Amino acid sequence: MVETELLKRRLPRLAWLAPLLLALAVPVPRHQARVAQSPRDAAARAERALPSLGLVRGKLRGWERVGDGWSLLWQPAHGAWLVRAWVPNGPGEVRWRLEVARWLPGARLSQGAAQALLGDQTEPGTWREQLGRRDWRFGERQLAGALPAGAEVPRPRPGRDPVWPFLLGGFLLAGALARAVFPGVVAVGWRRAVYASLVLLAAAAPLVTAVGVRSFQPGVRPWVTQLAFLASAFGVLVAAAAGSARFAPKRGSVAAWTLPLVLAIGVLAGRLHPHPRLLDLAGLGPRLVVWAGLAVVGGWLVVLAAEGLRDLLEPVHAVRPVVLAAGGVLAAASAGPWAGPACAVLISAGIEKGAAMWLGVAAMWGWIVGSVLAGCGWGGPLRDATLLLVAACAVAAHALLRDAEAA
């Protein structure tokens, strides 16, 4: 009888997990192409499809999600040239381009010789003098000296609305100022969690250079590019560690039923607007560590930005819930890939400061999981994202059951 009564008390608490199931059941918009292959599988396909270039491609240095395909980059150790290739998600032509350093010598062909080499006698060409050769371009087809250099490959397009990252950055600065004036009681456990996440991200940083594919340039040795990328990454991590020491999370508790609800909102935001950089990280080996570290560190940054937004809205304290609700609708409609962090900031700004860290991490955790589940179509990332989701659900269920027993 006692166990039956206890079960009746627990079931209503566990019913708060229903929004998470609804968020997972929402269909992904049709205009979002799901990645059906890993970047390394796409690289193997490109290596089979690329013609003989007459030079060494070098190692695969990085990848990036562009449109409905992968943009891949190979570069030899000397760095004098690099090869870019774009592999579509489904069946289609693999496009490639050879980029050569300006100082590398080569032939200076006439227009007739260049046309004969490319087999194009009708397209008018334009030439460009380099330091040691002459490059020709006929429509999309190109020549680097006397070597065919392929055609243009798709490039990443700028974000639909670049306002939101700057807006969130402004809230973050306002939150840092507010935390410097009113420090509050530090949550030692959360501060240690942020430190541990930063250490894990620093340990995985040498393997994350593959997502910095935009940094590689012809004429620059790849190890120099990777070293510069690592220096930038370590600088950001050190700054985050110093910031977490100065602007540490505040201590507080949160109602257990809000955890699965906010987790569901994060999953929904990720499924509707997956961030392409999270999909780039899905091709890495230590992706599980990187995602978990980003969720905790991102949750701390979200809470800091939410504190700044809360203080900025202090003059209109009476209508602050209405303003935050309207901001959430606007963020869901216009923030695109930044909808997850924007909604997390707006949710955290509407609750008590000490409880915001729990909900900020839950929202960012759900956003990462939702983005991966919506955007990746091969086994490894789906398995790791499911593990992250199960871990979050276990924490939420433990908090719900603990509250039920206390009641």
DSSP symbol at 69: E
**What is the end-to-end Cα distance of the chain in Å, rounded?**
18
| 20 CB-contact burial (10 Å; exposed 0-12 / middle 13-18 / buried 19+) | buried
Say if pTM beats, i.e. exceeds, 0.85.
yes
pLDDT of amino acid 32: 66
Task: Report residue 95 as tokens.
Answer: 């496009």
Identify the burial level of 163 via C-beta atoms within 10 angstroms of its C-beta, where 0-12 means exposed, 13-18 middle and 19 or more buried. Answer: exposed
- Residues 324, 326, 332: CA angle, nearest 5 degrees: 100
Question: Per-residue DSSP letters for 103-123?
Answer: TS------HHHHHHHHT-SSS
What SS3 class is residue 81?
strand
Going residue by residue through the chain (407 aa), what tens digit of pLDDT does each one get? 444 554 455 555 556 666 666 676 777 766 666 778 889 889 999 988 888 877 888 899 999 988 888 999 999 998 888 999 999 887 888 888 888 888 888 888 878 888 877 776 667 778 888 888 888 888 778 888 888 888 888 887 765 556 888 888 888 998 888 888 777 777 788 888 899 999 999 999 988 888 888 889 998 999 999 999 999 999 999 999 998 888 888 776 777 777 888 888 888 888 888 888 888 898 888 889 999 999 999 999 998 998 888 888 888 777 888 888 888 888 887 888 888 898 888 888 877 766 778 888 889 999 999 999 888 888 888 899 889 988 888 877 777 777 666 65
For 291-307, how does the pLDDT look when each residue is reduced to its tens digit (9 = 90+)? 999 999 999 999 899 88
Query: What ranges in 286-378 are assigned the alpha helix state H?
Result: 287-312, 320-334, 339-348, 356-375
Residue 54, token pair as written in the block: 């007459």
pLDDT of residue 296: 92
What is the DSSP code (8-state) at residue 31? T
User: 34-45 b/e with 16+ CB inside 10 Å = b?
Assistant: ebebbbeebbeb
335 vs 162: CA distance, rounded Å: 8
Is the distance from CB of 386 to CB of 287 less than 8 angstroms?
A: no
**How many CB atoms are closer than 10 A to CB 17?**
18
